[in-house]
Each structure stands twice: as C-alpha cells, then as structure tokens.
Structure 1
Amino acid sequence: MKLIRDRWDHHNMEMNEVHNYNCELVKHGTAPQWQKRKSTLIARKHGENPSPFFVARAIAVAMGIHFIIMVMICGAIIVHSLFNKEAPISLQECYCGPCPKNWICYRNNCYQFFNESKSWYQSQASCMSQNSSLLKIYSREDQDFFKLVKSYHWMGLIQIPANGSWQWEDGTILLPSQLTMVEMENGTCAVYGSSFKGYTENCLTPNTYICMQRIV
C-alpha cells in the first residue's frame, strides 16, 4: 500500500511540473507550435489582414477569368461577322488592277452600282461614257455574288422584235445557262433581280443600273 501511495505522489509531481513548464513557455513567448497555429487561425477569423500571397493569388484568378471572358466575346464577334457578311456590292473602297477607283473588282471584272434612276437608253449612255457597258452575265460561277442582289437594276439585255429572242449589247444571244427570263411588264428591255433572274421591263421606265468592265 505504501508503494502505491508513493507512485501516486510521484505522478502528481510530474503533472504539476508539466503544467508549470507550459505556463513558463506561454509567459516567455515560446508556446508550442500547435498553440501558435491556433492563435493564428483565431486571429484570421476575427479579421486580420490576409497574407500577400493570398491577395496575389486572388488577383491572378480574377484577371484570368476576365481574360477568358474577353476572348469569348472577341470570338463571338468574329464568328458573327464571318457568318453575316454582306454582298461585295457594299465594298465602296474595293480597288484592284485596272478597275476605276471605287469600283468593285471581282474575278477579273469591274462593277459599279449606280443609285440614280434612268431609262435603259440613258443608263447605257452613262456606262459608255465611263468606258463600260451595262451588266452582262457571262457565268453564274464567275459572277456568283450577283445571286445576293435584292433590288432591280438595268442590265445590257434587249429583246429582238423580229424573233423575240434576247441578246446582249455585244450582239451575243442569251443562253439559258446565263440567266432565266421572267415575263413581268410589256417591254423589250430587262432588269436584273436576284438568283440570276431577269425581268422584262419597259425600256423607258426609270431604274437604277449596273455598269461593268471586263478585264479579260
């Protein structure tokens, strides 16, 4: 019994020494590492300023997100512009080769769309004064952008009263592969519509017109 009591007293003395040692460490600022970590977490919880590394990382993440959003917006704009291009007739500054300035150059032909309304004969004279002729369709493949035209314009096509056939200004006969004629008004001249269709029109009716120069 005495041996058990001596061991118990010895255990109590060791516990008191450990407690006093911890108190001394806290008093002199040498608390164990886990106590320091606990104090740091408590301080952060109560509003201490975050570390510079944390702030820099947050800024980098925000800038990365901003960059991704800008790339997506630019991509959407580019895709939209590619799929919503207007016909080449809207390119007023297009110039290449021997075409007159501000004329449209497309596959070795020069074109100009005139917004003034004139009769067929007046339109023909206007084109001739600019060393050109009214529009002629040579090939649907080489002049494919004309399928996008939506309004009516005089072209260099006129009907021969003797046999009712259609011919171009240069005297060549209209071929079915060039253009499809649609009877509209009683007349011997033709306006160009869209999708390679020509419409009969009275030659004296005012219309806008297209002049062209063939390079080759």
Structure 2
Amino acid sequence: MNRHNYKMGLVRDRWAHSSMGMYLPHKEISESHNCDVINRGAFKSRQKRTQTLITSKCGENPSPFFLARSIAIAMGIRFIVMVMIYSGMIINLLFNQEAPSPLKESYCGPCPKNWICYRNNCYQFSNESKTWLQSQASCRSQNSSLLKIYSREDQDFFKLVKSYHWMGLVQIPTNRSWQWEDGSILSPNQITMVEMQNGSCAVYGSSFKGYTENCLTLNTYICMQRIV
C-alpha cells in the first residue's frame, strides 16, 4: 500500500513538473510580450513628451536663425513699401508739377491787369464770341487792337495756341491781298494763310497759320497792346 502510494506520488510529481514545463514558457512569453508593449508605450510617451517639450521651447525661445529670417523678411517688406511710397510721390510730383507755360498770366508794369505780358507786348484772350467788327471794337475800347503777328521769334508762344481767335487781318477786295489793321501788308514770314471758306476776315489757329473766315461768324478774339 505504501509502495503504491509512493508510485502515485512520483506520478503526480512528474505530471506537475511536466505541467509546469508546458505552461511556464507561455507565461514567460506573455510576460515578455507585455513588457515589450509597456516599453514601447513608454517610449512613445517619452517621445511625445520630448516632442512637445521641443515644440514648447521653440515657441517660447525661437532660434537665432528664425529671428534673423523674420527680421530680414520684415525689412524687405518695409523696403518695398518705402520704394512704392517714394515712387508714388515722385510720379505725383512729375505729373502735378505746373509746366512752365508762356501763356501763364503775369503782370509786368504797363500791361493792364489780367493781361498776359510777353516780350514787351500785352495780350488778352477773350472768353466771349463776337463777329470780327465787334471784336475789333472791343479791343479798341481797351486801347488795343486785334492780334498782329510781327515776328515769329518775338511771338513764338503763339505756336502753342490751339483754338481759333479773330486777329486783325482782313482781305482787300480789289487785289485779294491781306492787310493788317494798321494798313501794313501781310508778309509771308509772318503767318501762312490757309483758304478754308469764303470770307474776307481771318482767324488765328496754331503754328503761325491763319484761316479765312466769314466776318459775321462768332469767334473769340485776341487783343494786343504794343509796349515798344
């Protein structure tokens, strides 16, 4: 009986030892796997904390390269803005600058007020339209006569005139020559006459050209006073 019990005990011990041999490796593998998972989780956690810490530090204390780049960009933008502002100012100055014009009104001694003084002659450009005779009468009432071109050099600003104005030039019916108010005959070096329509009076156009015009037509006119 005791011998039987002893054998049974040996069998149980072997079976237990065998069981422990069968299950122990799986348990160790499981524990190793769990440790590996835990270690990887801890590594990821540390990596995440490290990345967050680096991001936080970068946000709080930017690197010198980042600061230099930001300053360079800001200075570049400022330079571009300043160039645009100064360019606009220069362009505005150039376009708005008053161009010197010989027709600008100026008062020079003997010329009546609001007349243009140019090279010792006084001129008035009327704003009202009249016939040739009415224009002549208006100028005479101001102790002047209708425009006469004496010299292209002395009266060179008249080449800039664009609109038509009565001048003191009429055509003599007998010989169809042109004569100034003072009785002198038109010289080819004074102005060039252009036949536009039937008429015995003349209007001044531009570039020292005169155009024939009906004396009853309404036009503006130019009065003139000779100082010397």
Same fold (TM > 0.5): yes
The normalised TM-score by structure 1 is: 0.66
- Residues 157, 189 of structure 1: 8 Å contact kept: yes
Residues 1:137 and 2:152 are matched in the alignment: no
Tell me by how many angstroms 1:140 deviates. 1.7
- Look up the SS of the partner of 2:157 in the other structure: helix
Residues 1:73 and 2:88 are matched in the alignment: yes
Give unmatched runs, 5+ long, in structure 2. 1-55
Q: How does 1:124-203 map to 2 (within 5 A)?
A: 124-203=136-215
- Residues 180, 197 of structure 1: 8 Å contact kept: yes
Q: Percent identity?
A: 66
Q: After superposition, what is the alpha-carbon deviation per residue over 1:36-55, rounded to whole angstroms, capped at 9, x for unaligned?
A: xxxxxx84x3145999xx89
Q: After superposition, what is the alpha-carbon deviation per residue over 1:4-52, rounded to whole angstroms, capped at 9, x for unaligned?
A: xxxxxxxxxxxxxxxxxxxxxxxxxxxxxxxxxxxxxx84x3145999x
Tell me by how many angstroms 1:62 deviates. 6.6
Which residue identity is paired with 1:104?
I
Count of aligned positions: 173
* TM-aligned CA distance change 1:49 to 1:155, over 3 Å: farther
Q: How does 1:196-215 map to 2 (within 5 A)?
A: 196-215=208-227
- Look up the SS of the partner of 2:92 in the other structure: helix
Tell me by how many angstroms 1:198 deviates. 0.5
Tell me by how many angstroms 1:56 deviates. 9.9
Structure 1 or 2, whichever has the larger Rg, is: 2
Of Structure 1 and Structure 2, the greater helix share is in 2
Tell me by how many angstroms 1:63 deviates. 6.2
- Residues 87, 148 of structure 1: 8 Å contact kept: no
* TM-aligned CA distance change 1:199 to 1:46, over 3 Å: same
Which residue number corresponds to residue 51 of structure 2?
none
- Look up the SS of the partner of 1:146 in the other structure: helix
Q: Distance in 1 between matches of 2:88 and 2:129?
A: 43
Q: After superposition, what is the alpha-carbon deviation per residue over 1:62-107, rounded to whole angstroms, capped at 9, x for unaligned?
A: 766554433322322333346x848544x3x532232222212222
